[in-house]
């Protein structure tokens, strides 16, 4: 590890398992001073906190048990994080995501309640977190990284609300990056590719998960974008493309 994130204050949603947990671990290895981890499962969050503390005993680790689809929980996440970090925030990673019903139905059969619920987690939550944390991010010329998917650029049959929500997240990311271009805040979005995570196994239960990447293999681009070495803004990155940081896919 090259310690690219020394002193950084970071908030990662969906960080009790999978990619979010791995990001928290690797950000700690890279020297982040404070990491707020957010998820609905308090026990898994505590397990993640213990793992982070073993890697970086001096790092401040804040656990927030919350559901990002609830506006009141968003308010609590923001208030708790800024209070604990004394108003500082350098990096926001919107990683929390909801798949929806599994197996995923075609749109003609998709229940409205599930469709709305997916959008609350995958689109509305990132919008609100960015909006409410923006003053702190502007003060620190921070970094915002949204986690997308190839389902956000190609309409895969059967990926329903999840895929459509990722299209929306990419549009949200593009608009935020344009509106914040003069602020010093950098907004980018990363497609981590196929990973061996609980959500992916649920999405494609008939596939062999051993063919998918471990989350630890895709975190380097996130570290780069969160660090001071990065000046990219308004770009889409493929985490598994190569190791040269030439990941951007211009659309």
What is the per-residue pLDDT across 45-63, written as a single tens digit (0 to 9) for each?
A: 999 999 999 999 999 999 9
Mean pLDDT of 28-44: 97
200 near 209, Cβ under 8 Å? yes
Lowest-pLDDT range, 31-35, 102-106, 146-150? 102-106
Could you tell me the pLDDT band of residue 209, with boundaries at 50, 70 and 90?
low
pTM, two decimal places: 0.91
Could you tell me the pLDDT band of residue 250, with boundaries at 50, 70 and 90?
very low
| Domains parsed from the chain with CATH numbers | 9-238 (3.40.50.720)
Lowest-pLDDT range, 24-28, 193-197, 227-231? 193-197
Q: Which residues are catalytic?
A: 162
How does the average pLDDT of the chain come out, rounded? 91
pLDDT at residue 245, rounded to an integer: 45
Cis peptide before 103 (omega within 30 of 0): yes
Residues 143-186 have pLDDT tens digits of: 999 999 988 888 888 889 999 999 999 999 999 999 999 999 99
Lowest-pLDDT range, 58-67, 166-175, 192-201, 212-221? 192-201
| Kind of pairing between the strands at 60-65 and 143-147 | unpaired
Percent of the residues in the chain that have a pLDDT greater than 90, as a whole number: 79
pLDDT at residue 135, rounded to an integer: 98
With 50 as the cut, is the pLDDT of residue 88 above it? yes
pLDDT at residue 189, rounded to an integer: 97
With 60 as the cut, is the pLDDT of residue 216 above it? yes
Could you tell me the pLDDT band of residue 238, with boundaries at 50, 70 and 90?
very high
Q: Of 109, 95, 212, give the one whose Cα is nearest residue 161.
A: 109
183 near 133, Cβ under 8 Å? no
């Amino acid at each position: 590890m090259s310690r690219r994130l020394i002193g950084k204050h970071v908030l990662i949603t969906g960080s009790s398992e999978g990619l979010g947990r791995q990001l928290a671990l690797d950000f700690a290895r890279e020297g982040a001073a404070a990491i707020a981890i957010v998820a609905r499962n308090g026990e898994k969050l505590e397990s993640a906190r213990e793992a982070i503390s073993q890697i970086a005993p001096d790092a401040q680790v804040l656990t927030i048990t919350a559901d990002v689809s609830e506006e009141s929980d968003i308010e609590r996440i923001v208030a708790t994080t800024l209070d604990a970090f004394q108003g500082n925030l350098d990096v926001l990673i919107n990683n929390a995501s909801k798949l929806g019903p599994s197996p995923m139905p075609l749109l003609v059969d998709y229940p409205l309640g599930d469709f709305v619920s997916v959008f609350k987690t995958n689109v509305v939550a990132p919008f609100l977190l960015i909006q409410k944390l923006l003053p702190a991010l502007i003060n620190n010329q921070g970094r915002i990284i949204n986690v997308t998917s190839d389902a956000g650029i190609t309409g895969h049959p059967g990926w329903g609300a999840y895929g459509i929500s990722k299209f929306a997240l990419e549009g949200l990311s593009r608009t935020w990056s344009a509106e914040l271009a003069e602020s010093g805040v950098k907004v980018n979005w990363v497609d981590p590719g196929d990973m061996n995570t609980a959500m992916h196994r649920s999405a494609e239960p008939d596939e062999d998960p051993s063919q998918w990447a471990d989350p630890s293999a895709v975190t380097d681009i996130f570290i780069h974008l969160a660090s001071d070495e990065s000046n990219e803004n308004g770009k889409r990155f493929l985490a598994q493309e190569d190791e040269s940081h030439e990941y951007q896919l211009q659309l």
